[in-house]
C-alpha cells in the first residue's frame, strides 16, 4: 500500500463471515487457476468444469482473460508491467469472490511464475489450485480460429505469449493437463476430482433441487 492512503484506513469485519457463506453454499470458496498459452483450452475446460459444479449445486464464476480485459483491466495492454498489473487486479478480485464463498475458475495466460505465486499467497495455498494447461505452441497455433497466432508471427500483434513474449511454466502445478492429448470434458473431470479430494466440495448439496433445474 502506498504512503498516500495509509493514514485513514482500517479493515472492517462484516457481520457475516466467509464461513457463514460457505455453510449457505454447502462448499468452500476457492480459486482454480488455469494457466497456459492462448488457445490451449483454458476457457473451454473451465466452462465444462463450471457446468459440472453447477450440477452439484455449487456457486461458481468463470473469469476469462478476454472478458476481464474489456472491463476491470480495459486500461491495460500487454507490456510486462501491464501483464503483472492485470494479474494483480484479478488476484485481488478473486480473493473477494473466495471470501464470498464462490468457486472462481480463472482462465488467463498469466505467463509469469512470480505473479501466480503472489496470488497463491494472497488467496491462501489451501484455496488456490494451479492447473497448467500444457499444449505445444504449434498445436495451439493450429487450433486458433481467430488467426491471432498468424498475426503474432507476422508481427502485427506484438508481445504475444509463446511467439514474441515469454511463458514461464509452473514447476509445481497442482495438476497438469496435456490438452493436445486429452479432451476438455475429461480434463474438467480431473480438476473436479482434485477439488473434491482437497475438501472444497464438502457435500453434495441440494441435489434434488438442482437435478430438476438442469
Residues labelled as active-site residues: 110
Q: β-strand 60-64 against 128-134: which pairing, if any? A: unpaired
Nearer to a second copy by Cβ, of 67 and 186: the residue is: 67
Least distance (Å) from a second copy to the CB of residue 171? 27
Q: Which of 71, 146, 74, 69 is nearest to 109 (CA)?
A: 69
Nearer to a second copy by Cβ, of 131 and 173: the residue is: 131
Least distance (Å) from a second copy to the CB of residue 81? 12
Least distance (Å) from a second copy to the CB of residue 193? 20
Handedness of CA 162, 67, 134, 151 (dihedral sign): negative
Q: How far apart are CA 31 and CA 149, in angstroms?
A: 29
Nearer to a second copy by Cβ, of 71 and 171: the residue is: 71
Terminal Cα distance for the chain, rounded: 45
Q: How far apart are CA 128 and CA 195, in angstroms?
A: 10
Q: Which helix (H) or strand (E) holds 147?
A: none
Exposure of 179 in the CB half-sphere (CA atoms within 13 A): 29
Least distance (Å) from a second copy to the CB of residue 213? 6
In the chain, % helix, strand, coil (3-state, to 5) comes to 45, 15, 40
Applying CB under 8 A, the residues found at the interface with a second copy are: 1-2, 4-5, 7-12, 14-16, 20-21, 23-25, 43, 46-48, 50-51, 54, 57, 59-64, 66-67, 69-72, 74-78, 89, 92-93, 95-97, 99-102, 146, 148, 151, 156-157, 210, 213-214
Residue holding cell 475429461? 186
Least distance (Å) from a second copy to the CB of residue 156? 8
> Could you give the angle at the alpha carbon of 185 between the alpha carbons of 58 and 152, nearest 5°?
105
Amino acid at each position: 500500500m502506498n504512503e498516500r492512503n495509509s493514514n485513514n484506513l482500517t479493515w472492517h469485519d462484516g457481520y457475516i463471515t466467509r464461513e457463514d457463506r460457505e455453510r449457505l453454499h454447502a462448499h468452500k470458496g476457492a480459486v482454480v487457476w488455469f494457466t497456459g498459452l492462448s488457445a490451449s483450452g483454458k476457457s473451454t475446460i473451465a466452462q465444462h468444469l463450471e457446468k459440472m459444479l453447477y450440477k452439484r449445486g455449487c456457486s461458481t464464476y468463470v473469469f476469462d482473460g478476454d472478458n476481464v480485459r474489456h472491463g476491470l483491466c480495459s486500461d491495460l495492454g500487454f507490456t510486462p508491467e501491464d501483464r503483472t498489473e492485470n494479474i494483480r487486479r484479478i488476484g485481488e478480485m478473486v480473493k473477494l469472490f473466495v471470501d464470498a464463498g464462490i468457486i472462481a475458475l480463472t482462465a488467463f495466460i498469466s505467463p509469469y511464475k512470480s505473479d501466480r505465486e503472489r496470488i497463491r499467497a494472497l488467496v491462501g495455498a489451501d484455496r488456490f489450485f494451479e492447473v497448467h494447461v500444457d499444449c505445444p505452441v504449434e498445436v495451439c497455433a493450429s487450433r486458433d480460429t481467430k488467426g491471432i497466432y498468424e498475426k503474432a508471427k507476422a508481427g502485427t500483434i506484438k508481445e504475444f505469449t509463446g511467439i514474441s513474449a515469454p511463458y514461464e511454466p509452473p514447476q509445481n502445478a497442482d495438476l497438469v493437463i496435456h490438452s493436445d492429448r486429452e479432451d476438455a470434458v475429461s480434463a474438467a473431470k480431473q480438476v473436479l476430482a482434485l477439488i473434491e479430494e482437497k475438501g472444497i466440495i464438502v457435500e453434495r448439496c441440494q441435489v434434488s433441487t438442482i437435478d430438476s433445474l438442469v
